[in-house]
Amino acid sequence: MASVSCAQKTRIIGRKVDHMTEFNWSALDERAVKMAKVLSADAVERAGHGHPGSPVSLAPIAYTLYQHFIKHDPADPKWAGRDRFILSGGHASLTQYVQLFFSGYGLTLDDLKYFRGGADTRTPGHPEYGLTPGIEMTTGPLGQGLASAVGFAYGQRFERGLLDPEAPAGTSPFDHKVWVICGEGDVEEGVSSEAASLAGNQKLGNLTVIFDANHIQIEGDTKLTFSEDILARYRAYGWYTDEVSFIQPDGSYKEDVQALAAAIEKAQEVTDKPHFIKVNTLIAWPTPGKTNNEASHGSKLGEEAVKGLKELCGFDPEVSFPIDEEALAHARKVAERGLAAHKAWDEALAKWAAQNPDKAALYERLKAGKLPEGFDKAIDDLVAGFEVGSKVATRKASGAVLNAIAAVMPELWGGSADLGGSNNTNIKGADSFGPSEDATRTWPNVSEYGRQLHFGVREFAMGAITNGILLGSDTRPFNGTFFQFSDYERPAVRLAALMEIPNLYVWTHDSVALGEDGPTHQPIEHLAAFRAIPQLEV
């Protein structure tokens, strides 16, 4: 197969062209994608359980992203200048594990063979933060990956504002992108809608979502439960949308990576909207008997189907976990490109630091996770200001503490789910986070780098977004609501506890005595329920 090139040969970041790589697709790329398909199928087959269908059909999409669009350095998975990638549909974890293996993140073929292998596996059934290099967050509960990706995008913008606010778009070492692959289950979950609405409102041009539309769920065709025009929905949220179809008008199937790359490149030119690209696929293609079939979603494909897939992909059907060494070596070259990008970033960071010594000192403190000078004094001064024996509502005391800390800790930011005044989560004198044209009579000062967050009545998204902020930046968010409404936030709280990340929740009105609104607003079982979550301090 001759090498082919997309008409647009560079990707756009902000208003600056990034020449890290051209999009060229060769026979070796095709062979690598086929290898990804059979490795995914073999891993599930060996485990005896898992979700093989999506990793098989997502292989060309994930490979295209990792090889040509995501800025990453496999030698340093925590490189601050990297793009962030979130696989929202965590059940399709092999989609990412195989690309991490291809790219050189330290995952081995034995790791793929030990997929779902037990407590010591590095390739668990769903991606787990802190366990596997290259995994940005734990995903599995559908919708939360996409919602937290909005938080990753929030965090990138706010941290840039702290450190390099005047740099033209695309020229700062603190500019990076957030990439997501999601599926129907993700966009059916309400939390993704809550967060997507906020992403559009915030005009997050640093966020790109690839939506895998394979129309298959465990119970069969999604037309039973999911029939709206998803692109129209996301346009209504304020997103840029596009569509690529691997299913051709004549019914044939072509994994048209050139069309996908062109759509991604075109989307990057839009800097004032998040991007949602729908890709029409057939789950498990081209597996005989399992393509476009719910049987491939959550069960192993079966020996005969896997053999058929291997034959169609050019591999010996009798060989498990086959490796095309030439194709693997080709894929591993992405590490060289990542190293070069990392080196260029280091040089840009050093230049920025020399020109901005005060900001550089802040950056070093944030990276080290240290508290600022004056932190203890701010608390001591606050305590000294309270009269001994006086009474103060706990939520007012909490608000006073937040503001005392905020005065010396610029990385602290946050807000409430439309209850800021009641929760006392407003930061005095702070600009609101958002486009300046969103200023209101009550909140006249709005800027893209503001530190006062407004979530609207979206508790679940609030929890997921602040999780993403924590994971994707070196800033410290907090969020608040009435304790009773923490029920709406609970799944994101549980995920934060699983990841052991220090999210901060301000849940006020926590007494049944504050019951003027009646039993719907009285937290009865909530304290016991949250204390039952492992690794959550209440």
Kindly list the catalytic residues: 459
Distance CA 148, CA 493 (A): 12
Distance CA 106, CA 279 (A): 30
Phi/psi for 148 (5° steps) reads: -70, -30
Residue 437, class by beta-carbon neighbours within 10 Å (0-12 exposed, 13-18 middle, 19+ buried)? Answer: exposed
Quote the DSSP letter at residue 386.
S
Q: Are strands 275-280 and 240-245 parallel, antiparallel or unpaired?
A: parallel
At 536, the amino acid letter reads L
At 444, the amino acid letter reads P
Please, which residues bridge with residue 220 across strands?
A: 217
C-alpha of 264 from chain center: 17
* SS3 sequence of 160-227: HHHHCCCCCCCCCCCCCCEEEEEEHHHHHCHHHHHHHHHHHHHCCCCEEEEEEECCEECCEEHHHCCC
Distance CA 18, CA 164 (A): 19
Distance CA 229, CA 344 (A): 42
DSSP 259-281: HHHHHHHHHHT--SS-EEEEEE-
